[in-house]
A and B are shown apart, each in its own frame.
Chain A
Amino acid sequence: MNAPRSFESGVLTDERPGAVKPPEDLWKKHKGGLVIVECPQRIPCNPCNTSCPSGSIVPFSDINDVPQVDYAKCTGCALCVAKCPGLACFVADLTFGDRTALMKLPYEMLPVPAKGDQVACLGRTGETVCEGSVENVTEPLRDRTRVIHVSVPADKVNDIRAIRVV
């Protein structure tokens, strides 16, 4: 069954306000990673901002604003990854390895993978982009939204948005 890969069905296809990526220069050298946000629709929601301990998600003047990121302040802590009700925040650390990056992805499915597991890394339409290796599993807010730390080929960080335990 083929589904159109269209923005109107929930697949990010192009650049828009609320779909925020770090600037390349800073991203390449920032240890701990930086946040990627894919929240391109104005909806009444602000937990990314209120959960951010470093103030890098810019305060909203209207609760319907799409998120904006002050990358000078982002630490890649991934609290927003755990808090966002839309699972629209992701962190990628490009300093993790030579050609590997560490992604911190939200996960609310079963089974929960363990450190060392190989998992399938999925793209925005669920296609398998590559394999990844689980480096850590955290539950920052103790609310069963896990953050899976997975090492992946560095050139795939713009394509990977979920994992599947295989």
Chain B
Amino acid sequence: MDLINSHPVLDFSHGRKVSFSFDGRDMEGFEGEPIAVALHANGVRVYRNTPEMKRPRGFFCAIGKCSSCFMVVDGVPNVRTCVTPLVRGMKVETQNGRGTVSLLEGEVS
């Protein structure tokens, strides 16, 4: 992971190291830290492709306000990965377009 190993002023304390997957690739990150941060540390820059222009988007505001880092997490699209904590075994995928929600039969009246 692309981490700052030594810093003149700050000490970093990370949580437990856990594995997750990104588009089928196994990766490691720290539990409880934002998904987007874990991806960035693994060298991932493109988090989704926009619906109309198919333009790549990645990390941008880091405070859950801009929608640039929307991804599909455990099958759920439009997850704000910059403020959603990483959980062991999470399945993170690049989001293409608006994403789709699979509704179970009987959920919609």
Stretch at the interface among B2-10, B15-23, B28-36, B68-76: B2-10
- How far is B71's CA from A72's CA once the two chains are assembled, in angstroms? 65
- Nearest-neighbour CB distance to chain B for A162, whole angstroms, equals 14
- How far is B6's CA from A108's CA once the two chains are assembled, in angstroms? 13
- How far is B7's CA from A166's CA once the two chains are assembled, in angstroms? 17
- Nearest-neighbour CB distance to chain A for B36, whole angstroms, equals 27
- How far is B10's CA from A144's CA once the two chains are assembled, in angstroms? 9
- How far is B6's CA from A109's CA once the two chains are assembled, in angstroms? 10
Cβ-closest chain A residue relative to B7: A110
- How many pairs of residues, A versus B, come closer than 8 Å at their CB atoms? 9
Q: Is A112 an interface position by the 8 A CB rule? A: yes
- Nearest-neighbour CB distance to chain A for B52, whole angstroms, equals 38
- How far is B6's CA from A110's CA once the two chains are assembled, in angstroms? 8
Cβ-closest chain A residue relative to B9: A144
- How far is B6's CA from A95's CA once the two chains are assembled, in angstroms? 37
- How far is B8's CA from A109's CA once the two chains are assembled, in angstroms? 5
| A81-109 residues at the B interface, CB under 8 angstroms | 108-109
**In the assembled complex, which residues on chain B have CB atoms less than 8 Å from the CB atom of A109?**
8
- How far is B7's CA from A110's CA once the two chains are assembled, in angstroms? 7
Cβ-closest chain A residue relative to B10: A144
Question: Which of B6, B7, B8 gathers most chain A CB within 10 Å?
Answer: B8
**In the assembled complex, which residues on chain B have CB atoms less than 8 Å from the CB atom of A144?**
8-9
**In the assembled complex, which residues on chain B have CB atoms less than 8 Å from the CB atom of A112?**
8
- Nearest-neighbour CB distance to chain B for A113, whole angstroms, equals 12
- How far is B8's CA from A110's CA once the two chains are assembled, in angstroms? 6
- How far is B9's CA from A112's CA once the two chains are assembled, in angstroms? 11
- How far is B7's CA from A55's CA once the two chains are assembled, in angstroms? 34
Cβ-closest chain B residue relative to A145: B9
Interface residues, chain A, CB within 8 Å of chain B? 108-110, 112, 144
A/B interface sample: 9 pairs, CB < 8 A: A108-B8, A108-B9, A109-B8, A110-B6, A110-B7, A110-B8, A112-B8, A144-B8, A144-B9
4 further A-B contacts with Cβ under 8 Å, apart from A108-B8, A110-B6, are A108-B9, A110-B7, A110-B8, A112-B8
